[in-house]
Amino acid sequence: NVGSPSVPLSQMERLAELDRLGLKPSKRVRGCNTVEECLAYYNELLAARDSLAYEIDGVVFKVDDGSDRYMLGETSKHPNWAIAFKFPPREEGTIVEDVVWQVGRTGVITPVAKLRPVNIGRVEVSSASLYNPDEIARLDIAIGDRVLVRRAGDVITKITSVLLKGKNRTPITTPKGCPCC
């Protein structure tokens, strides 16, 4: 029961209690008292991101005091006493080597760029959805171009821009019929 004598109201006290019980919280948890301290902590973790033994995509700041949390309340989707500060997405440049057209289970035909494999945040990326012909036109992308690839949310690969148009670029053509038949 939250707030009962056995459950501390403070987040930091709860973490200390978990530690005492043998459930070890991250050693990187830190209390901050000002916006400046929060920003410094965010920047510290951002700088350490690639050296951690685990993946992180940002920092969550929480109000420590339980009675303040109660006063701030929550919506059906999230607490008003916590906020996530996401890190910028990881991006790398690579070459579009081909585009294949995939037919999904609902029959939608989607262009997928086959990329020269590139490591983005400890993950080897070799393909990215181009979504539809409008996205291909918007990016003005062709086979042979050097592109910037992002792992949106550190998960979904997306081509965000063309860095350099290839010397022997090949236009991407939309199939006239089903690419499978």
DSSP 8-class letter at 50: G
pLDDT given at position 178: 85
pLDDT given at position 6: 74
pLDDT given at position 8: 80
pLDDT given at position 144: 98
Burial class (CB in 10 A: 0-12, 13-18, 19+), 69: buried
**Residue 67, amino acid:** S
pLDDT given at position 5: 64
Burial class (CB in 10 A: 0-12, 13-18, 19+), 134: exposed
**Residue 140, amino acid:** D
Q: Encode burial over 95-115: b for 16+ CB neighbours within 10 A, e otherwise.
A: bbeebebeeeeeeebebbbeb
* Those residues with Cβ within 8 angstroms of residue 17's Cβ, 6 or more apart along the chain or in another chain: 7, 8
pLDDT given at position 151: 86
End-to-end Cα separation, the chain, in angstroms: 61
β strands within 63-153, DSSP E: 82-86, 90-103, 109-120, 123-129, 146-152
The per-residue pLDDT string of the chain (181 residues; one tens digit each, 9 = 90 and over) reads 555 567 788 999 999 999 999 999 999 999 999 999 999 999 999 999 989 988 888 999 999 999 999 999 999 999 999 999 999 988 999 999 999 999 989 988 999 999 999 999 888 999 999 999 999 999 999 999 999 999 876 678 999 999 999 999 999 999 988 888 7
pLDDT given at position 7: 76
pLDDT given at position 91: 92
